[in-house]
Amino acid sequence: MTIVPNRLGVKFNLKREPALAAADIVPIFQRWIQEHTVDGMLIDVIDYKHVPEGPGVILIADEGDYAFDFSDGQIGLHYIRKRNLPGDMAGALILAFRLALGAALCLESEAPGDIDFDFSHAKISFLDRQNYRNEPARFAAAQDELSAILADIYGGDVALERAYDDPRFSFALRVSAQTEGVDGQKLLARLSARAVSVQ
């Protein structure tokens, strides 16, 4: 069984750069805290949008953080689960995907037609350098199990590849569903059902 990392991130990128400015995300995230829009004990908003290809605007929560993220030169919604992950990899990935997807759909609703995510592709970050060194052997050891779990999440075949070859970067994977145009609402319903089944 693949070890569950200390922290686990899932990022969905936008299909195109929006007209909505990064500065506009700050009051949206602040309102989310007041209205408890997304899951978690929401605490504060931190603005790093001045950092090139950085974490952007972060909504800090107790269990995990939500970010309007600029890393890799791609704008997206990045959810990082920091603690209280399920003890098995399937449960951990379902949880992180479900929360990232839910937040991305909420952000789409803030700017319909402008904020538009590509749910057919995701980046998964395994933020645990002790158990997940960014090297080919680590990928080879985990590839089959992770591919099976992600195929179950998406309900069909997926392609999986390392996001970075440089060992100085964290171990991260890019997953691509073989069916383009994945519907976010349908995927969220699927993940919510799967979350119940693995509890």
Whole-model pTM: value is 0.94
Q: In which residue are the tokens 């309007």 written?
A: 68
As for how many domains the chain has, the answer is 1
Q: Check whether 193 has a pLDDT greater than 90.
A: no
Output phi, psi for 41, to 5 deg.
-85, 95
Each residue of 68-79: pLDDT tens digit? Answer: 999 999 999 999
pLDDT at 199: 41
Question: Would residue 2 count as lying in a domain?
Answer: no
Query: CA-CA distances (angstroms) from residue 174 to 2, 8, 41, 78, 135?
Result: 17, 14, 28, 13, 15
Give the alpha-carbon dihedral of 116, 164, 161, 101, to 10 degrees: -30
152, 194 Cβ separation under 8 angstroms: yes
14, 114 Cβ separation under 8 angstroms: no
Is residue 198 very low, low, confident or very high in pLDDT (cuts 50, 70, 90)?
very low
Is residue 54 very low, low, confident or very high in pLDDT (cuts 50, 70, 90)?
confident
Question: Would residue 1 count as lying in a domain?
Answer: no
% of residues, the chain, pLDDT over 90: 87
Q: Check whether 49 has a pLDDT greater than 90.
A: no
Helix (H) or strand (E) holding 59: strand 56-61
Each residue of 15-27: pLDDT tens digit? Answer: 999 999 989 999 9
Question: Would residue 93 count as lying in a domain?
Answer: yes
Each residue of 86-142: pLDDT tens digit? Answer: 999 999 999 999 999 999 999 999 999 999 999 999 999 999 999 999 999 999 999
Question: Would residue 148 count as lying in a domain?
Answer: yes
Which distant-in-sequence residues (6+ apart) come within 8 Å of 89 by Cβ? Answer: 1, 2, 3, 4, 145, 146, 149
13, 32 Cβ separation under 8 angstroms: no
Q: Which domain holds residue 160?
A: 8-198
Which distant-in-sequence residues (6+ apart) come within 8 Å of 15 by Cβ? Answer: 116, 117, 118
More confident residue, 93 or 54: 93
Closest CA to 70 of 123, 1, 140: 123
